[in-house]
Amino acid sequence: MDMQHLEGSIVALVTPFKEDGSVDFEALDRLIAFHLENGTDGILTLGTTGESATMTDEEDNSVCRFVVEHVAGRVPVIAGSGSNSTSTMLDKSLSYQRLGVDGLLLITPYYNKSNEEGIYRHFVTVADALDVPCLLYNIPGRCGCGISEANMERLAAHPRIMGVKEASGNVAFAARIAHLISDDFRMFSGEDGIVLPLMSLGASGAISVWANVQPALVSEMCHAYLAGDLVRAREIQIAGQPLVRALFSEVNPIPVKEALAQMGLIEAHYRMPLCPMENATRAALIAAMKEADILA
């Protein structure tokens, strides 16, 4: 699968659970079919939205294998293999590579954080050992550290680092690293509220939580922009703001799993410390979904 030319909407897929806490593979199959039927351009499994931080290695491998097998090459599959331990991130990356993913998402070393050189080596140690393309994941709000401009430039030169999921929420930072965008290094927006501002700087699309519930629309927005239809792309981005705000009204992926449950695609079960939505934010989410014509 061609990762170097990937563009459009890549869904940051949830991992559905049953009431007993086990992975709900029947629901996962429904989600995959839903995305393939609705124009999603790629699937990211085991990311933050997939609650991989609370899953066992066996569960991670089972979900990764299932997604690869059920997507069956129809769109690229990327697996989040990040860890604050470089050796763990390497082991996960090699496991998912063996399971047939098309690419990997590598995160900064949260909690222990490291210095500049350590963050650089964290990524390069893993990328050096792989045969598949890697995306960096810059989300300092989650990790307590980010990828600096200097490190981004060093890492962009690596032959297996193909781009970055830029989720700092800082358009000015995205602008400062936009000169790195090329045929060999791509940017994807990791913030649903500012996809078009980042695409205006050269981003190829989004790795999106929003796309879980409106995959066709998010894909249309990205491809409208890429095709030069800025009016339509802007219309979708602006109209989607109330829903995006509701999807992040509590810690991700709590609201998006509730939204998918309201749509009848999954049951809203979580791994602790995540728990069901508060009544007030649930009501606001349902109202936003009705406004977006997702619910009647």
Catalytic residues, by residue number, are 137, 165
Give the residues across from 257 on adjacent strands: none
Q: Are 289 and 249 in contact (CB under 8 A)?
A: no
Q: Are 257 and 14 in contact (CB under 8 A)?
A: yes
**Alpha carbon distance 216, 66 (integer Å):** 23
Q: How far is CA 63 from CA 7, 104, 134, 174, in A?
A: 24, 14, 19, 32
Q: Are 257 and 270 in contact (CB under 8 A)?
A: yes
Give the residues across from 137 on adjacent strands: 107, 165
Q: Which has the closest alpha carbon to 165: 183, 200, 139, 199?
A: 139
Q: Which has the closest alpha carbon to 138: 192, 187, 200?
A: 187
Vertex 257, ends 104 and 277: CA angle to 5°?
Answer: 130
Q: 151 by DSSP, 3-state: which?
A: helix
Q: Where is 44: in which H helix or E strand? A: strand 42-45
170's CB contacts (< 8 A; 6+ apart) are: none
